[in-house]
Amino acid sequence: MTLVDERSPQTQASPRATVRGVTKVFSQGNQGVTALDGIDLDVAPGEFVTVLGASGCGKSTLLQLLAGLDKPTSGTVETSSQPALMFQESALFPWLTAAGNIELALKLAGVPRKQRADRVQELLTLVRLGSAGERRVHELSGGQRQRIALARSLGQGADLLLMDEPFAALDAITRDVLHEELADLWQRTGMSVVFVTHNVREAVRLGQRVVLLSSRPGRVLRTWDVELSQPRTIEDPGVGALSAEITAALRQEISRHAAA
Ligand SMILES: Nc1ncnc2c1ncn2[C@@H]1O[C@H](COP(=O)(O)OP(=O)(O)OP(=O)(O)O)[C@@H](O)[C@H]1O
């Protein structure tokens, strides 16, 4: 399986996702709720973008639009191919084994049957579960389930991975290990990632760029480039310093919204 992005430089130069002037209004009863307002965002090939914001600011809505699961009320969302999507819950099929879940993704991605077993094993090894293929979902820990979900996303062959608080339900140590593995996989595969979280340190630990959304309606309030090399850890002083700055901006936004 090819993990390194071998496409032409021209293809590599065009963004994996382009969001232009996106507004999303939901109807709640007979009222309209503006979840997102005038969002512009480009995700470059191989870029890792984290999206932060207070609860209800429209982070998940933005991912749903990027995934093509919903349409904007106005504006445009374009992606270079169908993205893979990963949630807080692994959403694995409980009647299939770990390997079976990955194989299904390969099948749906059109991988010929003969190649699937080898690819499944490669993907299992990649997420450090090389010997767990025959386990059923209930026999896997929360962290292992998220690893299988990640392997399944990688198996879809997508060049853009959308992650909606994928590690929020895990304990701190497991989350830390998965941060390390995700950062490593991201570097090895050349995929682009849009990672939604409300954990500021997680956003800084993982992202190359942190996008802070305002409280409802969600607008891009500010972005930060994270000029810290990978591998980095959540305890790094640089991660701590930038997290403190972003937390202050987030707090200010939450106070502003509460007073409005
Ligand atoms: N299908 C829907 N119908 C009506 N309103 C919706 C729908 N989906 C989201 N909303 C509203 O849009 C706003 C943004 O929701 P969204 O789930 O995107 O926020 P979020 O930032 O992901 O929140 P959280 O951090 O709590 O998960 C909220 O006010 C929510 O109630």
3-state secondary structure 12-47: HHCCCEEEEEEEEEEEECCEEEEEEEEEEEEECCCC
Q: Tell me how crowded residue 1 is: count the other CB atoms within 10 A of its CB.
A: 14
Look at ligand 1, atom 9, and give the residue with the nearest C-alpha: 61
Please give the structure tokens belonging to residue 70.
């919903």
Centre of ligand 1 to C-alpha 242, Å, is 27
* 55 pocket-lining for ligand 1 (C-beta < 6 Å): yes
Taking the CA of residue 198 as reference, the ligand 1 atom at the shortest distance is 25
CB under 8 Å to 130, separation ≥6 — which residues?
121, 124
Looking at residue 230, the DSSP 8-state letter turns out to be S
The number of the ligand 1 atom at minimal distance from the alpha carbon of 36 is 14
Two structure tokens written together for 145: 């389930």
Which pLDDT belongs to residue 231? 87
Q: Which is the closest atom of ligand 1 to the Cα of 196?
A: 22
Distance 253 CA to ligand 1 centre (A): 18
Nearest to 41 by CA among 219, 164, 182, 208: 219
Q: Does the domain made of 34-83+159-259 have the CATH classification 3.40.50.300?
A: yes
In this prediction, residue 30 carries a pLDDT of: 85
Write the residue with the smallest CA distance to atom 5 of ligand 1: 26
**60: Cβ below 6 Å to ligand 1?**
yes
Residue whose C-alpha is closest to residue 25's, from 75, 67, 63, 68: 75
Distance CA 143, CA 211 (A): 26
**Closest C-alpha to ligand 1, atom 8:** 61
46 CA to centre of ligand 1 in angstroms: 28
Residue 21 Rama label (left phi>0; alpha psi -120 to 50; beta) = left
Name the amino acid, one letter, at 214: S
Query: Which pLDDT score, from 0 to 100, does residue 90 have?
Result: 81
Q: In sequence order, what DSSP letters do the residues of 67-132 get, joined into one string? A: TTSS--SEEEEEESSPPEEE-SS----TTSBHHHHHHHHHHHTT--HHHHHHHHHHHHHHTT-TT-
Residue spans of the domains in the chain: they are 34-83+159-259, 93-157
Q: What is the pLDDT along the chain (260 residues), one digit of tens a residue?
A: 444 444 444 445 689 999 999 999 999 888 899 999 999 999 999 999 999 998 889 999 999 999 999 999 999 999 998 999 998 888 899 999 999 999 999 999 899 999 999 999 999 999 999 999 999 999 999 999 999 999 999 888 889 999 999 999 999 999 999 999 999 999 988 899 999 999 999 999 999 999 999 998 999 999 999 999 888 999 999 999 999 999 999 999 999 888 87
- Is ipTM strictly over 0.90? yes
- In this structure, the residue with its CA closest to atom 18 of ligand 1 is 58
The maximal CA–CA distance of the chain, rounded, in angstroms, is: 61
- Cβ atoms of 136 and 94 within 8 Å: the answer is yes
- Centroid of ligand 1 to alpha carbon of 208 (angstroms): 25
84-113 pLDDT per residue, tens: 999 888 889 999 999 999 999 999 989 999
Ligand 1 geometric centre to CA of 80 (Å):
25
184 C-alpha to ligand 1 centroid (Å): 31
Among protein residues, the one whose CA lies closest to atom 14 of ligand 1? 58
Q: How many whole angstroms separate alpha carbon 69 and alpha carbon 6?
A: 28
Residue 141's Cα: distance from chain center in Å? Answer: 21
- Taking the centre of ligand 1 as the mean of its atom positions, its distance from the CA of residue 35, in whole angstroms, is 7
Tell me 256's DSSP state. H
